[in-house]
Amino acid sequence: MARPFSGPPPLKMDFSEKVNTNEIKLKDPSNLKKLNICQAVTNALDTALASDPNTYVFGEDVKFGGVFRCTVGLNAKYGTDRVFNTPLSEQGIIGFSVGMASAGGVPIPEIQFADYIFPAFDQFVNEAAKYRYRTAGRFNAGGITCRVAYGAVGHGGNYHSQAPEAHFMHAPGLKIVIPRNPIQTKGLLLASIRSPDPVIFFEPKILYRMSEDMVPVEDYTIPLDKAEVIREGKDITLVGYGASIRHLQMAAKMAEEKGVQCEIIDLRTVVPYDIETLEKSVKKTGRLLITHEAPLIAGAAADITANIHERCFLSLHAPVKRVCGYDTPFPFVYEPFYLPNRFRIFDGIMETMNY
């Protein structure tokens, strides 16, 4: 009788974080509430709707709370004029958002799954991103912050798992933001909503209820132009964003047992990313590994690699290592092998250290 497959035991880690009061300036740092990412999104949207009557939240099934329940209670509180459902048309949702933003509104549309954002691609790339430029500053679509449920979830298969951020990186005028936890989610989402540029805010849906932190109750923002060093080290720099940060933290713990001290940086804003923070770290460690769920070819890691080679070539002790999704359609039963988990990242760390 064949032995049943049993994978390695899970690595137990506490991923909770405390508020970084050096970055987040609060009136009352003690006024905190335990929230997951889903609840942090709701809290941020509530804050935005309450603070600006020109703000609107809409999308497929948003009125009753959305499929992930991130907009629960907002329609009852603010009414259907400000929180409402749309037809099942991603192109229409973003086209409507461009028109609303150009007229001075603050639209916060939701695309239910990142996999279905592509019908709206033209509206993002040719309209929202270019509107300020093509009208010589007379009009703009900078008020748009599009929330998108994003990434692998363990059982989503080909059409509910994709990470399409790289498709939008080549569109000057768009910002791309991806948070890692509830504290970051609230602060980055509010900063995105108040940004003068259109933002695609990808929310790692696998973390919606998995990630919990004590989150400030008051209104606050986190800068969109700064990466964050969340662990200091001297041997190798690890860079990621969103759910990949947890895999980097687990791999760093495994590497530590081998005597390797890893520095971990969360990009947070993928476009425009904070190259200065990355450069400073790589010049210290001499090594760099970048990870993301999206495929390897032409991903965010490729652009960062090129930039680092230009800026840090004489400081590098090894080539930059990319540990990413494979260049295949996103699989269903083979998802555990496709994703850049802690084991693939650990192997990449040791390969780079032993170069």
- Distance from the Cα of residue 85 to its chain's centroid: 24
At 35-61, the pLDDT tens digits run: 999 999 999 999 999 999 999 999 999
Q: Is the preceding omega at residue 164 within 30 degrees of 0, hence cis?
A: no
**Arithmetic mean of pLDDT, 291-309:** 97
The C-alpha angle 287, 166, 36, rounded to 5 degrees, equals: 85
The answer to whether the beta carbons of residues 288 and 282 sit under 8 Å apart is yes
**Arithmetic mean of pLDDT, 167-180:** 97
Q: What are phi and psi of 180, to 5 degrees?
A: -115, -20
Residue 12 has pLDDT above 90, yes or no: no
pLDDT at 86: 97
Among residues 90, 127, 165, 263, the one annotated as catalytic is 90
**Arithmetic mean of pLDDT, 168-195:** 97
**Arithmetic mean of pLDDT, 256-267:** 98
pTM (2 d.p.): 0.95
pLDDT at 5: 43
Residue 186 has pLDDT above 90, yes or no: yes
Residues across the chain:
355
pLDDT at 158: 87
Summary mean pLDDT of the chain? 95
**Arithmetic mean of pLDDT, 133-161:** 93
Of residues 309 and 3, the one with the higher pLDDT is 309
What is d(CA 216, CA 226) in angstroms, rounded to the nearest whole number?
A: 20
Query: pLDDT category, 135, cuts 50, 70, 90?
Result: very high
Q: Pick the range with the lowest mean pLDDT from 11-15, 17-21, 30-34, 234-238.
A: 11-15
At 200-213, the pLDDT tens digits run: 999 999 999 999 99
Nearest to 287 by CA among 273, 275, 305: 305
Sign of CA dihedral 61, 66, 71, 74: positive
Residue 303 has pLDDT above 50, yes or no: yes
The single-letter code of the amino acid at 234 is: K
Residue 1 has pLDDT above 60, yes or no: no
pLDDT at 157: 85
Residue 3 has pLDDT above 90, yes or no: no
pLDDT at 71: 98
- DSSP structure string for 140-168: --TT-EEEEEES--SS-GGGS----HHHH
160 an active-site residue? Answer: yes
pLDDT at 156: 86
Query: pLDDT category, 2, cuts 50, 70, 90?
Result: very low
pLDDT at 252: 98
351 an active-site residue? Answer: no
The answer to whether the beta carbons of residues 114 and 164 sit under 8 Å apart is yes
Residue 7 has pLDDT above 60, yes or no: no
**Residues with Cβ within 8 Å of residue 180, at least 6 apart in sequence:** 204, 207, 211, 241, 242, 243, 245, 246, 266, 268
Among residues 60, 127, 160, 293, the one annotated as catalytic is 160
Residue 146 has pLDDT above 70, yes or no: yes
- DSSP structure string for 292-329: EEEESTTSHHHHHHHHHHHHHGGG-SS--EEEEE-SSP
**Arithmetic mean of pLDDT, 101-107:** 97
| Residue 159 burial class via C-beta count within 10 angstroms: exposed 0-12, middle 13-18, buried 19 and up | exposed
Query: pLDDT category, 9, cuts 50, 70, 90?
Result: low
